[in-house]
Amino acid sequence: MTRGGFSMAQTPTRRKPLMEPSDQATEKHVRLAVNQGAAFERALTAMTMEKAPGAEKRAGDYIVGYAVERAEGLYHLRNGQLHWDERKEENAHIEVVVRDASDGRFIPGLTVYATLIDSTGNDVGTHQQPFLWHPWLYHYGRNWQVPADGTYTIRLRIEAPEFGRHDKINGQRYGEPVEVEFTDVRIQTGQKKS
């Protein structure tokens, strides 16, 4: 089954978290949230169709997805100044998108870990995937040093966030950590030109 540009794997599903009118959100506001999610999904589809192949799965209150492309340069803030950092040894860029399973919106402020496992079962590494600003698709991600082109497994863990959740009806969500595994992930190593 596909959702946008992503290939949706079959996973056990729980009931979606509620998104109903409440004292904080009228029916119109709930529709606005759903429209935000739909717009984000269109950007996600464009990313996976044009730039970086990936997949996503339902996991508890979330829809969790990944995309992989070649390593790329990034700006980082150091000593109050933005500095452009070229890739050094890194040769792959792993992106993770975590969306609300009810309305499809991107969820900021999460702690996301990725573990990469090669085709023989060897652990390549585990890294936190920090939030990355992107011109048209917010995501969690980082550059990785991957041993070679090939097929890998990506295990993602999203910790239960500590941020507040508005409203007694809609706020009971994201209360547990989730783990998602994607197998047969094809990684082609390299570096994008800046």
44 within some domain: yes
46 within some domain: yes
Determine the pLDDT at residue 18. 63
Instruction: Please state, in angstroms and as integers, the Cα–Cα distance from residue 154 to each residue in 36, 104, 187, following that order.
Output: 28, 22, 11
Question: Residue 51's beta-bridge partner residues?
Answer: none
Determine the pLDDT at residue 17. 60
What is the domain count for the chain?
1
Closest alpha carbon to 17 in 145, 141, 105: 105
Determine the pLDDT at residue 20. 80
194 within some domain: no
Determine the pLDDT at residue 16. 60
192 within some domain: no
Determine the pLDDT at residue 161. 97
Domain of 121, CATH number, reads: 2.60.40.2480
Determine the pLDDT at residue 8. 39
Give the residue numbers spanning the domain of 130: 2-187
Q: Which two tokens stand for residue 155?
A: 């295990």
Query: What one-letter code names the amino acid at 115?
Result: T
As averages over each run of 10 residues, the pLDDT of the chain (194 residues) reads 39 54 87 94 90 92 96 97 93 98 96 98 98 96 98 98 90 95 97 87
28 within some domain: yes
Closest alpha carbon to 65 in 36, 26, 104, 31: 104
Q: Are residues 124 and 118 in contact, defined by beta-carbon separation less than 8 angstroms? A: yes
119 within some domain: yes
172 within some domain: yes
pTM, entire model: 0.88
